[in-house]
Structure 1
Amino acid sequence: MSLKDCCKCATNNQNDDDSFFVGIRFRKGNPEVQFPLGYFSDAELREISEENLRKEILTLFEILSDATLIKNDENSEINFENLNEENETFPFQAYRNVLQNFLEFGYYKEREVIYKQGAHGKIHWGRTIKMTRPIVSGKNLIYLKPIARKVSYNENELITQIHKFCVHDAFEKIGFLYSISETENSYLTFDEELFTAVLNEKISKTFNDRDLQLFYDLQKIVAYLAGKFKSGKMQTDFTFGVKKFHTIWENLIDKILGNLNVGEDKSEFNPNCGWELENKQKYNENKKYAMRPDTLMRYQNENGNYLFIVDSKFYQYGFTQNTNDLPSSGSITKQIAYAKFAEIHHKVKCENPNDAGNRIYNIFILPYNANDDYFANFSKENFQNSFYKIKSIGYAKTDWVNLDERPYHKIYSFLFDLKAVMHRYQKSEETQKEIAENVIKLG
């Protein structure tokens, strides 16, 4: 089976929960990789080379292995789950590290250091001086039989067989991502107690960083496998991914645009609610359930300081061009509430505090595929050098506020290329400046 045969994109079909899934699933030994909605067009997936598709799959798995991208959302946990068992976390990074280590260095070989008199090799002068008698020649001491340090390799040691066992298991699970035809299996059967004891012993006596990392990765695989054997037989069907991609999208954009002053925390911008009941009882809502803006971005130029409140929506508009797939009234109203709260409780630093509301802007960020010709003429003169291929698509508004009263009454909206974001999601002051200056200009 080629990589193309097992890859597709999510469809976000409201009648099919599986259509929102992003990640990898194995069914009867066959892998199925599902990318986020719109990651590939049908034509792109047909034309992409196997090598480039493999790189895109690894990019997806790196995203899914980044714990910082799935925080704060109990519905988007990364799970490697057996179909009929409770979810368990799959150590993808450990599996990947073990395969890459194998491709580069082969199987780990137990090394036993021995010292032998008269042997060829690096002389160990400490042992030579202590254990042999020199010949005196004038002022010189001559050692005719120095002791040399030698390394003995024994491929039948347990640690080598444990390594082979885990490499073979990694090959069966994610080997299709690499150009590996087959791996050698270990003669050992899985024994959690034995494998763990051997690895713990090796870790306690190992100081080589590369070997130490390998042993830690093997430990994670063994710990995972311990819960996957039933009656001595490995369960092979599994799922690794997220039920929905929206939380990851929010956190990707937050990493690129998030920018607060030193000492500021995002939670300070969360509007909280409470009750004053007739019986004089007061009830304050649990802050866990407070409204929370996705991203806050501070920006400063020669005209002053600005605050941008960003809501990242993994909505379909960038892929369907259907206006029904744009953020609706609930999202628009919420953005205005965030900005009003910021204006009242967190005055933007400027010469005139009463002007704070004129320094706050609202933004929507949506994904799109930059290869889609539909958006070719959107904001053509702007963002020409942007890595994320940003497009301005207009602004959202409501009829219950005066649009001219505050800049944040308009929610300026932009498209970011999904692939570009997933390939480089790191803080970008250049992108922050591009967005900020364009919004200020539009406002």
Structure 2
Amino acid sequence: MFRMLSRFLVSLLSVALMSVPAASDANQAHDLVRKSLVYLTALGTPQTGDLVGVDDASESHATGFIVSSDGFVLTTEHFFEKLKEDNANRIKITGRIGDVKAQSISAQYISALESLDLVLLKLQLPYGQKRPAALTIGDTLSIDQSSPPKFLTSGFSGEAYKRRLAAFNDASNAEVSFAWTLNVKIGPGQSGSPVYLDDGTVVGVVKGTAKDDDEATLMIPIEYALPLIGHFRVIEMNRKIDWLLKTVGEVSDDDPPLHLRLNKVEANLEEIASNFSWEAESRRDGSLSVHYKKIIGGGPKIKKIHLSVQPHMKIRQPNADNIVISPMARLRLRTATDDPPIFELKKTRHDGRDGEFIIPDIQKKLKSLLSLTDGAVEGQRPFDHLELVITPILESDEKLPSTTIKEQLAYDWFE
């Protein structure tokens, strides 16, 4: 049922995406991307040097690009290098979307990956203003380096808008090991510009000119930015799934597929599910804690889980000394009719990045099973482990793919 519904949703999503005009050549791609470019300015008051105390005397410029329609902007962290050198305070950051003469919008520093030279900013978009379009984020992992595509880049050099065609040179660089080298010349202020394909999909971020060759440019592969921007992809996917569920409603297993490109659904749903890692832990009161950690903050929230618990016991073979690990029947966790049982989220921490579910009376139920099993190995650990099958349920009531984990029990069985 879940797979069929998921495929149906993705078929509609595919059709919806097909209605968006695609950039078919370099000029169309440049025009598409320009609407999401941001001309960035940072001003501060120097605390060192000849201009100590002069307001806004420390100044820096860069290009960034919109990664979320809420106004989040990705650029290079060395955008702030001049202000750091001047030990500047009273720093003001502004951005202009699409053009250096566009409305100036205040921005805030959100987070950075300094070792990768990446920073995330947030434009304070005026109330009621049309939201800017976020660029499509791709990756370099699928690029065939033996037959690379055309690379494009555009940004602001000084106050001039520049667009360039780039060629792949190498996927490594002696100066910056993780950076790709492209054959293209850029000017001051173009650091932070997106590198994209001819359909507008972003695959990298311009880091700067190579020190040993001013005709070459270093590019940071976009996947290095995922710790900063990955949750926007999860949020957008969840938003589309919610919208399609409300629009389409339930479907049956007999409903035929609507589109050929349906196999992508598993990857889409697994991308959301992969944002959560799961563990379980025995508790002194005899209950079991099942908890998750979110790899990336924000995005979809889990409100409850379906849970199946299967004990695996150490069983001594009749008339023999060898021991086998034998799976037993699933525990009956509740007297209600839910199968598998549903458990509600008990608490969250760290702004929702950690969540915990409490499963009561696990030790009691296992002791009852132990008393009925004459062949169980004597000793402090008659159970080898519990196998837990967890099916997360989001606030939208959408189910994510199930996850199976094992818990090595720490209860005292013979107290």
Answer whether TM exceeds 0.5 for this pair.
no
Please give the TM-score of this superposition, normalised by the length of structure 2. 0.24
Please give the TM-score of this superposition, normalised by the length of structure 1. 0.23
More strand by share: 2
More helix by share: 1
